[in-house]
A and B are shown apart, each in its own frame.
Chain A
């Protein structure tokens, strides 16, 4: 089956839905399709807890927000993109307000803001500790107002159709029926989110498997800076569910087994609110040096909120309290929460410029799937939901402008037939002696062990070897469920295939980068090396593994200096 739309947006998270609204606002005549493998309000973005950064009040400034972001990124962010980002953010907050987002308020009814790590002003806007949830629902609800938006809920992207450097469309499986649908489009926006499930211990939803990145990569689009993966300091042990940074923003402490607030020794000024890479490394070091707290699920660090009092916890951190009670039986009002650093954010993504344009004409990427890059080697908390809003909008607008002057180009029936046969004959129909679940498990173990917070050559080499082995074995996977409709076994297998491609890029990229910058920390190269490595990594697909190129970082105002907190 074939359908045609001016713009097809893949991914209904914050970035994708913001793109839809932006495009729909640009012209009522455009036909805009939104594809997502989950219902929109089931996207990963609903998990975002802490908040969204924007300059709103006296005392703060665009330059300060930009500087915090650039410094946080360990100078790998592109500063033109950062400057654009901070300037556009305040309006996004107001738009969400006007569309019904239940922002938390000050006593006089203004939009409230709180402290967040790495930000030198209390500029994080929030809706209790369910910020992402409310933002998603607000965008979803607003989106319902535009009659020219057609939703394809529970459709799964399998490939992009690119010819002569130009996007022509894509293919997706309609999950309910199992049919493959060809979407012809003048422009496509990828907003499929990050790749957190490469790791086993992660804050991410089960569905965050880097699909859009992997599909783009396979189609020849370069991925940027994939070796930079953020570890959030406070993942609940053992599930990895996020205990938001707002816990510390609201005044929570981190303590080791001696009860010591050890951040004193690592970041005496910012303490618990130093950027995530700094805090996560400090915690991991405490654990490695024997000052973690022992438990049946391994060593952990205590996140202590007990001094905040019940009222503040209920008002500002209700979800955290609820989750701690439900998932580990601990009430944070009474007892510290067991936490450990946890894989949390994909700084890298589909390579785009500051307009969200990829090297392929008509193909855009936004949100966590893209890499503009405003986060560089380490993103600040609250900057990611913000990025989704600003760059989701930018992508939607740019795509709309582009398609108003572009024509459809038809995709031949052969392309469709070939994809159909790849999926249903080669992948679903194949027999073999491997199962995707086992491969995923081994991948997760490798990532959690060899590509964790502290990296070193031998282990990275071992990881590259292991991932290659897993890719080999993937060719031998057999899917148990042979039926067509709602085949989650097939979807899972696709996802594992996507993740193996991405893992290889992450691992080799990390091995190549012989320096420490932001979240990428090499024990054998513990210093940042601006002379050789102040540059972005680009990975291109080849059948024998990624080919790497490097491009310069855009610097407008801020020359790299030593990063101290």
Chain B
């Protein structure tokens, strides 16, 4: 069966749509479709991909208006005509490739690593964590940094310094880890002018997250925690 791929391209100067017709078999993914085009029809088509198993986060693009991982999206589930575009809220570099530098910088900015006073590189010791404690944060570790959430975030659309759902999720992931001692430091980082209070609670992020992470919940939990800390500090 032939499927029409309409792709929004960008060559560094101008943006235009181009249509390719490709033969599709059952089971073929959108990423395989893009490779088919690159290998057989137009070698200049530019996109990112690596793992092709939905774990590296490289291949998020907008497919018929919704951000998804191209490698885990079955073409025939979408239909016989597809529109593929780069993610919104990211600057386009070329075709489907967008600039992720700022996105990763925001992630870095929330100190997304375990903070412990007894950190000992030479002589590490086993920390005890019950399965229950593990489950308390585990789902939030699954973020592949694909940017899908950020691309639909209305707060990010209006303020490009907004940390965004993924970075805030990372902060929450560590705050909720029983081994961590850095919650206060991170709260200060994500509750500033560019942080959680910017969120409009559109919750679109949670809707599009391919890992079903619910970043909106992370934002909410942090807000709650931050409100409590503020109240505490007033009475201190």
Nearest CB in chain B to that of A328: its residue:
B27
CB <8 Å contact, B51 and A46: yes
A551 CB–B CB distance under 8 Å: no
CB <8 Å contact, A486 and B94: yes
Task: For A486, give its contact among B56, B97, B179 (CB under 8 Å).
Answer: B97
B16 CB–A CB distance under 8 Å: no
CA distance A67 to B152 in the complex (A): 53
CB <8 Å contact, A141 and B121: no
Instruction: For B57, list chain A residues within 8 Å (CB).
Output: 41-42
Nearest CB in chain A to that of B29: its residue:
A327
Instruction: For B194, list chain A residues within 8 Å (CB).
Output: none
CB <8 Å contact, A42 and B56: yes
Instruction: For A241, list chain B residues within 8 Å (CB).
Output: 52-53
A144 CB–B CB distance under 8 Å: yes
CA distance A232 to B26 in the complex (A): 25
Stretch at the interface among B126-134, B199-207, B220-228: B126-134
Task: For A39, give its contact among B43, B100, B141 (CB under 8 Å).
Answer: B100
Instruction: For B108, list chain A residues within 8 Å (CB).
Output: 144
Nearest CB in chain B to that of A144: its residue:
B108
A564 CB–B CB distance under 8 Å: no
A351 CB–B CB distance under 8 Å: no
CA distance A53 to B117 in the complex (A): 28
CB <8 Å contact, B55 and A47: yes
What's the least CB distance linking B124 to chain A, in Å?
A: 4
What's the least CB distance linking B51 to chain A, in Å?
A: 5
Q: 0/1 per residue, B43-54, Cβ < 8 Å to A?
A: 110111111111
CB <8 Å contact, A100 and B177: yes
CB <8 Å contact, A488 and B50: no
CB <8 Å contact, A206 and B52: yes
Task: For B93, give its contact among A319, A480, A486 (CB under 8 Å).
Answer: A486
B40 CB–A CB distance under 8 Å: yes
CB <8 Å contact, A481 and B44: yes
What's the least CB distance linking B206 to chain A, in Å?
A: 18
CB <8 Å contact, B128 and A98: no
CB <8 Å contact, B56 and A47: yes
Instruction: For A44, list chain B residues within 8 Å (CB).
Output: 50-51, 56
The answer to whether residues A326 and B72 also contact, given A109-B130, A205-B52 and a CB cut-off of 8 A, is yes
B38 CB–A CB distance under 8 Å: yes
B17 CB–A CB distance under 8 Å: no
Task: For A144, give its contact among B50, B53, B101, B113 (CB under 8 Å).
Answer: B113
> What size tier do the contact residues of chain B reach?
35 or more
CA distance A241 to B53 in the complex (A): 7
Q: 0/1 per residue, B3-32, Cβ < 8 Å to A?
A: 000000001100000000000000101000
Task: For A479, give its contact among B11, B43, B101, B121 (CB under 8 Å).
Answer: B43
B193 CB–A CB distance under 8 Å: no
What's the least CB distance linking B77 to chain A, in Å?
A: 10
CB <8 Å contact, A105 and B134: yes
B160 CB–A CB distance under 8 Å: no
The answer to whether residues A144 and B54 also contact, given A98-B124, A102-B141, A489-B44 and a CB cut-off of 8 A, is no
What's the least CB distance linking A144 to chain B, in Å?
A: 5
Q: 0/1 per residue, A488-517, Cβ < 8 Å to B?
A: 110010000000000000000000000000
CA distance A324 to B19 in the complex (A): 31
A335 CB–B CB distance under 8 Å: no
Stretch at the interface among A89-97, A277-285, A301-309, A381-389: A89-97
CA distance A238 to B28 in the complex (A): 10
User: How many residues of chain A get a CB closer than 8 Å to chain B's CBs?
Assistant: 63
CA distance A144 to B104 in the complex (A): 11
A483 CB–B CB distance under 8 Å: yes
CA distance A97 to B118 in the complex (A): 13
CB <8 Å contact, A38 and B58: yes
CA distance A111 to B179 in the complex (A): 13
CA distance A462 to B134 in the complex (A): 54
Instruction: For A107, list chain B residues within 8 Å (CB).
Output: 130-131
CB <8 Å contact, A205 and B51: yes
What's the least CB distance linking B108 to chain A, in Å?
A: 5
CB <8 Å contact, A437 and B43: yes
A323 CB–B CB distance under 8 Å: yes
Nearest CB in chain A to that of B133: its residue:
A109
CA distance A142 to B124 in the complex (A): 14
Within 415-457 of A, Cβ neighbours of B (below 8 Å) are at: 435-437, 441
Instruction: For B62, list chain A residues within 8 Å (CB).
Output: none
A176 CB–B CB distance under 8 Å: yes
Nearest CB in chain B to that of A319: its residue:
B55
CB <8 Å contact, A205 and B93: no
A137 CB–B CB distance under 8 Å: yes
Instruction: For A479, list chain B residues within 8 Å (CB).
Output: 43
Nearest CB in chain B to that of A41: its residue:
B145
What's the least CB distance linking A45 to chain B, in Å?
A: 10
Instruction: For B100, list chain A residues within 8 Å (CB).
Output: 39
Task: For B129, give its contact among A42, A91, A105, A488 (CB under 8 Å).
Answer: A105
CB <8 Å contact, B112 and A144: yes
Task: For A98, give its contact among B51, B119, B174 (CB under 8 Å).
Answer: B119
What's the least CB distance linking B173 to chain A, in Å?
A: 9
What's the least CB distance linking B140 to chain A, in Å?
A: 10
Instruction: For B114, list chain A residues within 8 Å (CB).
Output: 98-100, 141-142
CA distance A489 to B46 in the complex (A): 8
B232 CB–A CB distance under 8 Å: no
What's the least CB distance linking A91 to chain B, in Å?
A: 6
Nearest CB in chain A to that of B12: its residue:
A485
CB <8 Å contact, B49 and A206: yes
CA distance A319 to B121 in the complex (A): 31
A148 CB–B CB distance under 8 Å: no
The answer to whether residues A485 and B112 also contact, given A95-B124, A100-B174, A480-B43 and a CB cut-off of 8 A, is no
What's the least CB distance linking A436 to chain B, in Å?
A: 8
B180 CB–A CB distance under 8 Å: yes
CA distance A105 to B116 in the complex (A): 20
The answer to whether residues A488 and B46 also contact, given A95-B121, A100-B174 and a CB cut-off of 8 A, is yes
Instruction: For A47, list chain B residues within 8 Å (CB).
Output: 51, 53, 55-56
Within 35-81 of B, Cβ neighbours of A (below 8 Å) are at: 38-40, 42-44, 46-58, 72, 74
Nearest CB in chain B to that of A240: its residue:
B52
CA distance A207 to B47 in the complex (A): 13
CB <8 Å contact, B121 and A323: no
Query: Please, could you name 15 A-B residue pairs with CB atoms under 8 Å apart, sorted by A?
Result: A41-B144, A44-B50, A47-B55, A97-B124, A97-B127, A98-B124, A102-B134, A105-B129, A142-B113, A322-B54, A437-B38, A483-B11, A489-B38, A489-B44, A492-B43
Q: A241-B53, A481-B44 are in contact. List 12 more A-B contacts (CB 8 A).
A: A46-B55, A98-B119, A100-B177, A100-B179, A102-B141, A104-B134, A108-B130, A109-B133, A130-B55, A133-B144, A326-B72, A483-B94
Give me the 6 closest cross-chain CB pairs, A-B, nearest first: A481-B44, A100-B114, A480-B43, A94-B124, A437-B39, A109-B128
